Structures are given as structure tokens and as C-alpha cells.
Chains A and B, each alone.
Chain A
Amino acid sequence: MKEQKHIKRRFILSAVVAVILILIAIFSHQLAPHDPYQTNAALIRKAPSMEYLFGTDNLGRCVFSRVLYGAKTTIFATFFLVAISFVIGTIAGMICGYYGGIADNILMRLADLMLAFPQMVVAIAVAGILGGGLMGAMIALGITMWTSFARLARSHTLSIKKAPYITASKLAGKGGAYILCVHVLPNILEPVLISALTQIGTTMIGISGLSFLGLGVVAPEAEWGSMISEARAYIQIAPWAVLYPAAATIITIVVFNYLGDAMMEYRNRH
């Protein structure tokens, strides 16, 4: 029983830290001491100081402000992408699982096709072909992401489909859409939501990875991956321009991964 308490504590702790990070992202505009796009030729590559907490980058921009704005970009883009994939995937999965038939067959074959290829490779190819930009990167990652949600939603829908209360509903004359929304959805929501949360970390890695390669966010937008890529060239003279965004990336991903893990453990013991 002591272990139960530990697990609950870990879950709550990581949730709190995650919320703090999200709040930082939301209020990044207010928290940033300087304009992250403001270049200043006189202040290039200055070491961290009271004025510029994380120093300045190659164009004289405040790294601290850029890291904060980057938090907004990365975290929001990640959440948005996961949310959209979640919605599309869940709807597709529910429909496939409930109605079956040709639509199910085709959609699942399509999903197999998507999964037949390593996610990052597809993302790079698609992002490259679409010409870069944050939207392109998100579409590139989303193309493969919805499939895991779809499969999960479908398998859970399949197992619920035979439940008595569903049959009762059908006999009462309720339409398919009604049953899906009122009966199926609330029951499959939990496992699929948890899957979504555990994917946040990986998605974040994907987005910053693509930006790092130049296939995601375009300059001068602040995003951690692209910041690291830009600053890589002069890492010897201004390591802070790389290390601070790197630290922010690591911390954020660790927090969300930990949250995902803690949630899985919490649910398993529950």
C-alpha cells in the first residue's frame, strides 16, 4: 500500500511540473524580458549576464526570451498535433470498429501502409517535399501519428461492441452516431487519452528534430530545435546559445515522459 501512495505522489508531482511548464509557455510573452526577434549587432554572442540571463545568440537576440518563446512554439505545436491526431484517429478507429466492412478494411490497410514505414523517414520526406515550415512538419508527423490512435480506438470499440447496453440501445432504435457518441466514446476515451499523453514526449522529439534539420520551423521563429541547429556552428565561442535550448528541450521531454510513465503506472495499479 505504501507503493500506491508513492505512485500517486509521483503522478501528481509530475503533473504539477508539467502544468508549470505549460503555464510558462502560455505566459511566455509576459515572462520574456526582451523581444526575441530583436537583433542587435553590438551584442552578439554575449555571455550570460544579469541583463541577458541566457546570453545572446549570433544575431544579438536574447536567448532567454527565445527559449521562452520556443517553449510556446514547441509545446503548443506538440499539443496541437497530438490533439488533432487523437481526434482524427479516434473517430476513424471508432467508425472502423463499429461499422466494420469495406471502410474498415481500407482504412486499416492504409494505416498498415503508414506504419510500414519508419515514422521519422516519412516525416522527413513529407516535410522536405512540402517545403518546410511548422505546418508542413506537423502534417508530416501527423500522417503516421493518427494510425496508432485509430488502431487503439478500433480495438477498444470492437471489444465494447458486444456489450449488452449497446445491444439494448440498438434495440431501442438509437442510431449509430448516437451510440458512438453516448456509449462508445466515454468508454474508450480513457485508454486512448493515456496513449495520447504518453506520445507527447516522442512528438516533441519529432518536432524539434525536424526543426533541427531545417524542415520545420522557419527562421526567425524561436524553436528549440532550430535554435540548437543555428547555434551549432559557433558553439565554441557561444556555447550558451546551444546549451540552454538543449537543457530546456531535455527537461521538457523528461517531464512529459515521466508524466506519461507515472500515469501508466497509476492506471495499472488502480
Chain B
Amino acid sequence: MKKQIAIRVIELILLLIVLSLLTFALMYIAPGDPAEKRLSSQGVAVTREVLQAERERMGLLRPFFVRYGEWFVGILHGDFGISFKDDLPVAPKLWNGLQNTIVLAMGSLLLSLLVSVPVGIFSAVKRNSMFDHIARILSFVGNSLPNFLISVLLMYFFCIQLDAFPIIATGSLQGLILPTLSLAIPMASRFTRQIRTEVATQMDEDYVVGLRLKGVKEHYILLRNVFHNSIGHIFTIVALQIGTLMGGSVVIETIFRWPGIGKLVMDSITARDYPVIMGFVLIMGTIYVGINLISDIVNRIIDPRVEW
């Protein structure tokens, strides 16, 4: 297995290189001039000379592969370059943003799992009961709500009507509640549905009947056997959701002004701050592919019959 993991890691690195190349190329040909954006945001009058000088200063006039090469070498040293927007180093910005996003992401992931795992399992065990029906309806609706809509509605009811939570998410715990909920509700809905399906499939398997006929205690069957077999799949579900989580956090962070990496990247896109965007693509790509690799490994450990 170690050999296969090594192969996957190499593939991962190659993938990231190609990804960064493509992103760099995309930004190279994209409309919008970072130099111009920068000057206008500083309130400087944009004349042709000033623009050219600024472009020169920002290093935008050098050929493609020189710029890419320089960036690539920098990455290997942990240097993500200088922001186009304010000349500050990119790496600390990304790091700060990442930390904040992780707080938000972990919080909502935890909340989602706390709700969806028991509900999903219970629903599967007591299929077609009242609980199951209600759970299915709620998770269906939750799954259909776009997260920006949830945040707007939550804001409306809690901040405005009830005045219970602050509108702008400050670092405080209170400020985190609404963004976390906005992310957690659709995620919990999706998880509940998928966990229910997976556990239900397991419970229909032959061995469950076999274990029952041997007189094995019901909660042993459920918790030690069904759960054990399902956990690999649950891992995969969660890993796949991390991607949606990262996308979702961009929207939520922007709405609630949470200083995470999502908000950072939104601002960078508007400002054409390419170094930040590149760093974001690289980091998020690594995280996403890395997590998927881990989930594949876990799946393989639990059920070695699975295709690698």
C-alpha cells in the first residue's frame, strides 16, 4: 500500500503544478489590469505614463515563464510573493485568512456531524417511522436552500426581528453563530440523507440477519458492525463536502464579513490581486486533494476490497 500512496502523492504534486500553471495562464490572459486597479484604488490619476511605470514596478511586463518561474521558486521557499493590492507579503495574509476559515469550517462541520450522524443512523434503523419522515422532509428542504439565502433569512430573523446576534461577525463567539449555522444547515441536510442511505444499505446486507440469528445483541450489531462498515463511506462524504464547504465559506464570509481566506480571495478577485489568488488556488487545491487522499486511505483500511 505504501507504494500506492507514494504514487498518489506524486500525482498530487503534478496536479498542483499543472493547476498553478493553468491558473497563472488564465490570469495572464484575463481582462482587467492589476496596475490600473491599484492606481485607481489609491486615487491616483491614471495616465499612460503612470500606468506603464506602475506595470513596470509590479513586474507585469516580464514574459510569462519568467513570472511563473519566479513565483514557483518562491513557493518552494514558502514565499508567496507580494500582494498587488498593498505590497504586503501574501503568505501571512493567506495564513491568517486560513486560520479564520478553519475556525468557521471546523465549527460548522462539527455541528453538522453532531446532528446528521445520529439522525441519519436513527432514520435508517427506524425506516419509515414518523421520525424518519420528518427527518427526510427537513433534510430535503435544507438541501435545497442556497446558503446565501439561509444567511440572509437568518440575519433577518435573528438580527433584525429579534436583535439577538450581531450582523457583522466579529471575532466573538456570538458573531460566529450565524455564519456557522448558515454553513451547517445545508451540510447537515446533505450528510443526513447520505448517511441514512449508506446505513440503510448496510442494514439490508446479509450479515446483519446472520448476526441477529446468532443472537448477537442489537446494539452490538448496530454500533460495532454496521457503523464500522459505514464509516469509510461517511469519511468519503465528509471529504467531498470539504470542497463545497470551502466554496460556501467564500459566500458566507463575504456576507458576514468574517476575515477568512474566502473573503480574502473575493476581495483579491475584484482587485485583480493575482499573487493572492495564486496562493489561494495552491493552498486550497492541496487541502482538497490531500483530504481526498486521506479518505481514500481510510476507505482502503476499512475495506481492502475497495478499488484504489
B172 touches A (CB below 8 Å): no
Q: Which of A93-119 contact B (CB under 8 A)?
A: 112-113, 116-119
The answer to whether A228 and B26 touch across the interface, beta carbons within 8 angstroms, is no
Q: Which residues of A contact B (CB under 8 A)?
A: 112-113, 116-121, 123-126, 128-131, 201, 205, 208-209, 212-213, 225, 228, 232, 235-236, 239, 242-243, 246, 249-250, 253-254, 257-258, 261
Measured between C-beta atoms, what is the minimum distance from A17 to chain B in Å?
14
Question: What is the CA–CA distance of A120 and B254 in the complex, to the nearest angstrom?
Answer: 14
Chain B neighbourhood of A225, CB < 8 A:
146, 148
The answer to whether B160 and A124 touch across the interface, beta carbons within 8 angstroms, is no
Q: List 28 A-B contacts (CB under 8 A).
A: A112-B15, A113-B19, A116-B19, A117-B284, A117-B285, A118-B244, A118-B246, A118-B247, A120-B248, A124-B247, A124-B269, A125-B265, A125-B281, A128-B266, A128-B270, A129-B27, A129-B269, A130-B31, A201-B144, A212-B146, A213-B251, A235-B152, A246-B153, A250-B144, A253-B144, A254-B140, A254-B144, A261-B140
The answer to whether B156 and A242 touch across the interface, beta carbons within 8 angstroms, is yes
Measured between C-beta atoms, what is the minimum distance from B262 to chain A in Å?
8
Closest to A245 in B: B149
Question: What is the CA–CA distance of A116 and B8 in the complex, to the nearest angstrom?
Answer: 13
Question: What is the CA–CA distance of A25 and B8 in the complex, to the nearest angstrom?
Answer: 47
Chain B neighbourhood of A257, CB < 8 A:
140, 143-144
Measured between C-beta atoms, what is the minimum distance from A67 to chain B in Å?
14
Chain B neighbourhood of A253, CB < 8 A:
144-146
Given the known inter-chain contacts A253-B146, A257-B140, please indicate yes or no for A121 contacting B152, CB distance below 8 A. no
Closest to A206 in B: B146
Describe A's contact surface by its main secondary structure: helix
A130-B31, A253-B144, A253-B146 known; 4 new pairs, CB 8 Å cut-off, are A128-B270, A208-B148, A254-B141, A258-B140
Given the known inter-chain contacts A113-B19, A261-B140, please indicate yes or no for A228 contacting B149, CB distance below 8 A. yes
Interface string of B212-252 (1 = CB under 8 A from A): 00000000000000000000000000000011111110110
Interface size class of chain B, counting residues whose CB lies under 8 Å from the partner chain? 35 or more
Chain A neighbourhood of B245, CB < 8 A:
118
Q: Which of B254-307 contact A (CB under 8 A)?
A: 254, 265-266, 269-270, 277, 281, 284-285, 288-289
Question: What is the CA–CA distance of A242 and B255 in the complex, to the nearest angstrom?
Answer: 15
B138 touches A (CB below 8 Å): no
Question: What is the CA–CA distance of A254 and B30 in the complex, to the nearest angstrom?
Answer: 36
B32 touches A (CB below 8 Å): yes
Describe B's contact surface by its main secondary structure: helix
The answer to whether B247 and A121 touch across the interface, beta carbons within 8 angstroms, is yes
Given the known inter-chain contacts A201-B144, A212-B251, A250-B144, please indicate yes or no for A129 contacting B26, CB distance below 8 A. yes
Question: What is the CA–CA distance of A142 and B133 in the complex, to the nearest angstrom?
Answer: 35
Question: What is the CA–CA distance of A129 and B25 in the complex, to the nearest angstrom?
Answer: 12
B53 touches A (CB below 8 Å): no
Measured between C-beta atoms, what is the minimum distance from B275 to chain A in Å?
14
Closest 10 CB pairs of A and B: A120-B247, A118-B243, A128-B269, A129-B30, A205-B146, A253-B144, A118-B247, A254-B144, A121-B247, A257-B144
Given the known inter-chain contacts A232-B152, A254-B144, please indicate yes or no for A131 contacting B15, CB distance below 8 A. no
The answer to whether A212 and B31 touch across the interface, beta carbons within 8 angstroms, is no
Measured between C-beta atoms, what is the minimum distance from B264 to chain A in Å?
12
The answer to whether B148 and A119 touch across the interface, beta carbons within 8 angstroms, is no
The answer to whether B247 and A119 touch across the interface, beta carbons within 8 angstroms, is yes
Given the known inter-chain contacts A125-B281, A129-B269, A213-B251, please indicate yes or no for A119 contacting B243, CB distance below 8 A. yes
B18 touches A (CB below 8 Å): yes
Measured between C-beta atoms, what is the minimum distance from A222 to chain B in Å?
17
Question: What is the CA–CA distance of A121 and B23 in the complex, to the nearest angstrom?
Answer: 13
Closest to A205 in B: B146
B266 contact from A130, A213, A254, Cβ within 8 A: A213
Measured between C-beta atoms, what is the minimum distance from A197 to chain B in Å?
15
Question: What is the CA–CA distance of A165 and B288 in the complex, to the nearest angstrom?
Answer: 43
Chain A neighbourhood of B140, CB < 8 A:
254, 257-258, 261
Chain B neighbourhood of A117, CB < 8 A:
19, 243, 281, 284-285, 288
Chain B neighbourhood of A212, CB < 8 A:
146, 148, 251
The answer to whether A246 and B152 touch across the interface, beta carbons within 8 angstroms, is yes
A126 contact from B19, B26, B147, Cβ within 8 A: B26
Q: Which of B127-161 contact A (CB under 8 A)?
A: 140-141, 143-149, 152-153, 155-156, 160
A228 contact from B18, B32, B152, B270, Cβ within 8 A: B152
A249 contact from B146, B147, B251, Cβ within 8 A: B146
Question: What is the CA–CA distance of A208 and B289 in the complex, to the nearest angstrom?
Answer: 27
